Amino acid sequence: MKLLFPIGIAVLGLAATATAQDTTVKSQREIKADDAKVMMMTGCLRQDALSGTYTLVGGLAAKGDDVKTQTKTRTDVDKDDVTVKSKTKTSADGGAVATAGGLSTYVIVPANDVDLAANVGHQVRLSAIMVEGGHGDADVKIKDKTTVDPDHGSDTTSRSKSKIELPKSSLGSYSVVSLTSLGETCSAR
| Model pLDDT, residue 20 | 58
Per the confidence metrics, is the pTM higher than 0.85? Answer: no
C-alpha 70, offset from chain centre: 10
Judged on CB neighbours under 10 Å (0-12, 13-18, 19+), 22 is middle
The secondary structure element, H or E, covering residue 125 is: strand 122-131
Angle at 169 between CA 165 and CA 174, to 5 degrees: 70
4 contacts: CB under 8 Å, gap ≥ 6: none
- For residue 94, is pLDDT > 70? no
Tens digits of per-residue pLDDT, 126-148? 888 887 666 667 778 888 888 88
For the chain, give the mean pLDDT. Answer: 77
| Model pLDDT, residue 16 | 46
Tens digits of per-residue pLDDT, 26-44? 888 888 887 778 888 888 9
120 — pLDDT class (breaks 50, 70, 90): very high
| Model pLDDT, residue 171 | 56
Which of 13-22, 42-51, 57-66, 108-117 is modeled with the greatest confidence? 42-51
7 — pLDDT class (breaks 50, 70, 90): very low
- For residue 160, is pLDDT > 80? yes
| Model pLDDT, residue 67 | 78
CB 107 within 8 A of CB 55: yes
| Model pLDDT, residue 15 | 45
